[in-house]
Amino acid sequence: MSGLPLALIGAASNQTELIYIWDRATPEAKAIIALLFFFSIAAWFVMLSKIIQMRRARKLNLYFGEEFAAQKSVLEMYDRNLQVEGCPLYAVYKAGCVQLDARLRGPSGERAQQNISLKNMEHIKRAIENVVAKESLKLESGLILLAIAVSGAPFMGLLGTVWGVMSTFAGIAQQGSATMAAMAPGVSAALITTVAGLLVAIPSMFGYNWLVHNLRTFTVELDNYAQELVSKMETEFLKDE
């Protein structure tokens, strides 16, 4: 027989084996597996959506960073009303420029002043720091679900396994027959919940670690940019005391 028919027979055998184990599983084990299945869907959705979000944010940060480095004045892009929605660095820049612009305008609404006081600069700093924290939390949102999947899914699987083994031994005790043929189906059906828990936890663990690493990179980038922005504002607009 060629390799392809053998592979098809092996796949059919494995499918039949899984169906047999599922049929032998207790209602409690089936409920745990169903719950783990929904956990898996939610975890994959979070991982994929966060990967798309972070890749888009990285691309926009790169574009914005080039524009920011090329401008001659801190408020140049703000005056041009440049829109880079979804860019964390732009959100920090816009928040700082809104506060700076408000303090440079006089009662008539025109930008009459050329300098700001140290007290006003401190207000601008706090506004920038608040936006940095908000953008970091926005990037971090959803990671708690992956952390729950990593830590909770194996224990849920273990719970199903222990429950299934307990039910198997209880049934054997009632029947008075302790043969391998009587024990194997129940034990194998109980172990499937541990497998299901690991299948949820392992991808979630890799995804969570990758996302946390990238989140730390973004947070450092936001902090560094906030300091650079404040430094340029102070150099250009802070009044010498």
- Tens-digit pLDDT profile for residues 227-237: 999 998 888 87
pLDDT at 4 over 60: no
Number of domains in the chain: 1
Quick one: which of 238, 194, 219 has its CA closest to 54?
Answer: 219
| R_g over Cα of the chain | 29
- Tell me if 94 is assigned to some domain: yes
- Tell me whether residue 16 is in a domain: no
173: left (phi over 0), alpha (psi -120 to 50) or beta: alpha
Residue 5 reports pLDDT greater than 50: no
Question: CA 126 → CA 34, 129, 170, distances in Å?
Answer: 47, 5, 64
pTM of the model: 0.75
Domain-embedded: residue 9: no
Contact indicator for 168, 187 with CB cutoff of 8 Å: yes
Give the closest residue to 48 by CA, choosing from 207, 188, 186: 207
111 within a domain of the structure (yes/no): yes
Highest mean pLDDT among 5-9, 157-161, 189-193: 157-161
Report which of 148, 199, 206 is spatially closest to residue 191, judged by C-alpha positions: 199
Domain residues for the domain of 223 are 25-237
In a domain, 158, yes or no: yes
Distance CA 60, CA 170 (A): 61
* pLDDT tens profile 120-177: 889 999 999 999 999 998 888 888 889 988 989 999 888 888 887 777 777 676 666 6
Whose structure tokens read 């027959």?
177
Distances (CA, A) of 5 to 2, 9, 10, 15, 42: 6, 6, 9, 15, 36
- Does the residue 182 lie in any domain? yes
Mapping DSSP to helix (H, G, I), strand (E, B) and coil, where does residue 206 land?
helix
Contact 25, 164 (CB under 8 A): yes
pLDDT at 113: 67
Q: In this structure, is residue 68 part of a structural domain?
A: yes
Evaluate whether residue 90 is within a structural domain.
yes
Higher-confidence position of 111 and 44: 44
